Chain A
Amino acid sequence: MAAIARSLPRMTVKLAGQTDLDGWRTAARALAMKGVPADQVGWTIAGNASADLFAGTDHAASEALPGADSTTFTVPRAFVELAETVVCHRDPERFALLYRVLYRLREEPHLMKIGSDTDVRRLEAMAKSVRRDIHKMRAFVRFRRIGGGPDDRHVAWFEPDHFIVEANAPFFVRRFTGMRWTILTPLASADWDGTRLTIGPGATKTDAPSEDDAETLWRTYFASIFNPARLKVKAMQAEMPKRYWRNLPEASLIPDMIRGAEEKAREMVEKQPSEPAPHHAKIQARHWPAPPAGDSTTQDGADARTLAELSRTAESCRRCDLWRDATQTVFGEGPAPARVVFVGEQPGDHEDIAGKPFVGPAGRLLDGVLVEAGVDRDAVYVTNAVKHFKFEPRGKRRIHARPNAGEVKACRWWLDHELALIRPDLAVALGATAAQSLLGKPVAITKLRGQVIVRDDGLRVFLTVHPSYLLRIPDPADRDAEHGRFLADMKAVKALMG
């Protein structure tokens, strides 16, 4: 009593109910505008006898306070949102604390951003406690069904910490729209008849049904989904504190589950592996027959007679390490025989996912330029010097990495066999890696661009840049100029095709 005597408020505001945010707002706004300091105001709830200490100086919240004019002062959204939550807290001090912060906001407009301020922290802690309670109610309400068929109703008994039933009821409406349900708590109840939500008075546990057939199945599930080899009781209790257990049908199983866990886990560890189940051999024979004896044909593709065969063999290539991180081998595509073969560097992100060459941005650019140059895309075979995508992971993206000489050399195996089956009279090397693979040595593309080098085997190799180079040029004017050069190259290719 001494504490109250020392800071006896000059006036007391009586609110209409435990979560009367509107009443608080109206009164608090008026008081703050009149400059009434926080320690001069007491807050009480109508009909709450024990809190009614200052009955003599009541101001009903709904009455306009004398002297309050209609100009408003603004508060940050963050405060309004916090207040909506904090009013649900069961601490009787909440209205006073909210008013103190409101009062301070007049002088300290950034107060809500000061996470280290004691008042702000206290409000946040209260809001957090309310939010947690709201969340736990959504989690731990357990409905029990009354009746069956179309007339059934679902009723739950729940004991929240704060005044949250009204704030939380719309969630249950959104979720259980097609059911008729009632949630009973000591402080309030919520009822949904399929079309209308009604908030009513508190109830007692005996008002709710005491059992439901589904609970047997639910308890079976709870017991079976538990892995005794991973016992972590504290982790469970942090999230599902014991005070909730009395209203959870599954919770009565917990002590026995814990007691038996160690023993069960030990049994599993100690038990010797058993003989395979009787049906196992039959399943193996039916679904996974051993490959026929003598099927030891070389898997290197050397004897492949068609591109399809060659490409199938390349699927499981392990000639270098690039297969490890990529999704799949991206083999060449196009007619065979073909007059001309376009060789790029390696598949990119899109190609790796799709399993087809030149389907990403660079491929689309190439397609466009080929159309412009009048090259019949369908008469062209496209492939890459390296058949697996080499990259560095960066978060949700993959950054292209250049294949090294060893990888280019290893993968040349496939390019050589492709060329042998396609027998083109012209190959177009798109970029340095392709040129290196086709010519067997490093080539300065910038110097030799647009030229034709004839290989020992007679294949003519036309040298140009990779279309992805064009995509990386930031300046539009430069890009246009390069596009023009690339188009000229493709026209030259068209001419060489004859």
Chain B
Amino acid sequence: MTAITLRQKLAILSDAAKYDASCASSGAAKRNSLKSGGIGSTEGSGICHSYAPDGRCISLLKILLTNFCIYDCSYCINRSSSNVRRARFTVDEVVQLTLDFYKRNYIEGLFLSSGVIRSPDETMGEMVEIARRLREEHRFGGYIHLKTIPECAPELLEKAGRHADRLSINVELPTDEGVNRLAPEKKPETIRISMARLRSKIEEKSEPTMRTKTRERFAPGGQSTQMIIGADASPDATILKSSARLYSSYRLRRVYYSAFSPIPDSSSALPLKNPPLMREHRLYQADWLMRFYGFEQDEILSGRPDGMLDLAVDPKLAWAIGNRAMFPVDVNRADRENLLRVPGLGTRAVGRILDTRRYRRLRLEDVGRLCQSITKVRPFIVAEGWTPGALTDSANLRARLAPAPVQMELF
């Protein structure tokens, strides 16, 4: 067998990493290289340097250190029973690739995860060493996201947090039963306890220390997690309930939903079908409603006895159609909370409505100029010179507002 080239390793180990949905490089503390004379900066919102034809942002060099793994999670392309080709980067190779890509402005930084080889500590130790070398030896100021191995030693976690902007641990599936069935070697309890540990570390380090009065750096971009959607039978209600629990328990920045996607060499334990992309999209929308629009998890699915989000219309519109007694809302008087419930009005549009109406009464046209599209908004608001009349309660409202089914995209 000939030795595997760097290019082949990169192909294998980025292919292995692509099922992780997160590529975010946002939320880091502001940082640049003016003082250090190195390279790298993070300035709040991350940058997507490219887009693949799957519509996903490419912001980070998202790779595995190795795809050898002692676990056998049936949804994962790297499970120990998979016949996928295996490879392993050296620490140097990852450091060099990150720097080479960064210097050409291909990426914002590195998102490193790994299969577990030999022991969790050994694997995590190498990941931490990569982050340390980038920061300390190469004065690298770009974004670093490390996927933490739940079973690793606390000292390693501490070091990881010192160098990384974000740490994450995947809960993998919405329920413990799902994990037990599809990832039998993983312990949901251990995953939860690791997330709890991360939360306490992040909180502890965000307090200035008694002695130096400065804050120690520890994962300023917080922690996030990912759930696979559609690999088990959990309905959306269960998924959103898990998210609400995770956000409140571990102060996560984000919960990512990853539609289960067929993998080469799949396991018989799993559905072989195209990934439920629309479902994934609706879950993200519902997640936003919980985080930014003041919706409770059980409200979002109140009108859905099967516990599944409506795939044809977005969850806010679905909620409004099911709760028409709350509408119409008067854009010239309603408070922020109620305006946020209006379909088609985002947080920005609501802010601008509140600003503008201090100086003039808003007509329907004005609202139209402040939001993306008035069609969805119209039946749910009263404005100067406009009442929706019977429109709000019309029987075919849903049909009218539901977008036409999307065609297969042609290129």
Contacts and interface: CB of A to CB of B under 8 A. Distances in A.
B18 A154 contact: no
B58 A154 contact: no
B339 to A, nearest CB: 14
Contacts of A217: 6-7, 10, 97, 100-101
Interface in A121-177: 121, 135, 138-145, 154, 156, 171, 173-177
B11 A224 contact: yes
A114 B359 contact: yes
Interface in A236-269: 236, 239-240, 248, 250, 254-255, 257-259, 261, 265, 267-269
A231 B80 contact: no
A269 B248 contact: no
B374 interface: no
B306 interface: no
B185 A288 contact: yes
Interface stretch (A43-51, A273-281, A365-373, A485-493): A273-281
A247 to B, nearest CB: 12
B18 A225 contact: yes
B47 interface: yes
B135 interface: no
Contacts of B262: 229, 265, 268-269
A225 B411 contact: no
Interface stretch (A7-15, A390-398, A440-448): A390-398
A135 B108 CA distance: 13
B17 A225 contact: yes
A227 B18 contact: yes
Identify the 9 closest CB pairs spanning chains A and B, nearest first: A235-B55, A232-B55, A393-B248, A276-B81, A116-B366, A174-B32, A177-B33, A226-B52, A230-B54
B32 A214 contact: no
B155 to A, nearest CB: 18
Given A177-B38, A353-B199, A231 B104 contact: no
B296 to A, nearest CB: 8
Contact of A178 (B39, B106, B267, B355): B39
B37 A177 contact: yes
Given A115-B370, A177-B32, A396-B247, A271 B265 contact: yes
B332 interface: no
A240 B51 contact: yes
Contacts of B352: 115
B402 interface: no
A355 interface: yes
Contacts of B55: 230, 232-236, 239
Contact of A177 (B18, B39, B189, B355): B39
B113 interface: no
Nearest to A275: B83
Which one of A216, A261, A324 has the highest number of Cβ atoms from chain B below 10 Å of its Cβ?
A324
A205 interface: no
Given A177-B33, A178-B139, A277 B369 contact: no
Given A177-B34, A227-B19, A236-B54, A145 B104 contact: yes
A229 B358 CA distance: 49
Contacts, number: 259
Interface in B227-274: 244-245, 247-249, 251, 259, 261-268, 272-274
5 contacts: A113-B359, A223-B11, A240-B50, A315-B189, A396-B248
A232 B408 CA distance: 9
B133 interface: no
Contacts of B365: 116
A212 interface: yes
A145 B15 CA distance: 27
Interface in A267-306: 267-271, 273-277, 279-280, 283-284, 286-288
Contacts of A179: 39, 103
A135 B54 contact: no
B51 to A, nearest CB: 4
Contacts of B18: 224-227
B14 interface: yes
Given A214-B101, A239-B51, A353 B200 contact: yes
A469 interface: no
A395 B200 contact: no
Interface residues on A, range: 35 or more
A345 interface: no
A175 B53 contact: no
A198 interface: no
B57 interface: yes
Contacts of A212: 104
B50 A232 contact: no
Nearest to A218: B106
A250 B48 CA distance: 14
Given A174-B34, A395-B290, 16 more contacts: A176-B105, A178-B39, A216-B7, A217-B97, A221-B61, A225-B62, A227-B261, A236-B53, A271-B266, A273-B265, A273-B266, A273-B267, A277-B82, A328-B189, A393-B245, A393-B297
A395 B7 CA distance: 44
A385 B99 CA distance: 55
A232 B62 CA distance: 20
A230 B275 contact: yes
A216 to B, nearest CB: 7
Interface string B82-110: 11000000000000010011011110000
B369 A115 contact: yes
A418 interface: no
Interface in B260-301: 261-268, 272-275, 277, 290-291, 297
A258 B53 contact: yes
B266 A135 contact: no
B176 interface: yes
B360 interface: yes
Contacts of B205: none
A241 to B, nearest CB: 10
Given A121-B369, A225-B62, A277-B81, A176 B189 contact: no
Contacts of B369: 115-116, 121
Contacts of B61: 221
B359 A283 contact: no
A325 B272 contact: no
B41 interface: yes
B40 interface: yes
Contacts of A393: 244-245, 247-249, 297
A154 B48 contact: no
A284 B265 contact: no
B10 A269 contact: no
Contact of B57 (A173, A216, A239, A248): A239
Interface centre among B18, B33, B106 (most CB of A within 10 A): B106
Contacts of B103: 143, 145, 154, 176, 179
A223 B49 CA distance: 15
A407 interface: no
Contacts of B32: 174-175, 177
A327 interface: yes
A364 interface: no
B104 A280 contact: no
Interface in A172-205: 173-179
B406 to A, nearest CB: 9
A354 to B, nearest CB: 7
A143 B99 CA distance: 13
A113 B353 CA distance: 10
Interface in B9-35: 10-12, 14-15, 17-19, 32-34
Nearest to A277: B83
Contacts of B195: 327
A429 B154 CA distance: 36
Given A115-B355, A178-B139, A279-B80, A231 B101 contact: no
Among A259, A267, A353, the one with the most B-chain Cβ atoms within 10 Å of its Cβ is A353
Nearest to B49: A139
A113 B352 CA distance: 8
Contacts of B277: 230, 232
Contacts of A143: 103-105
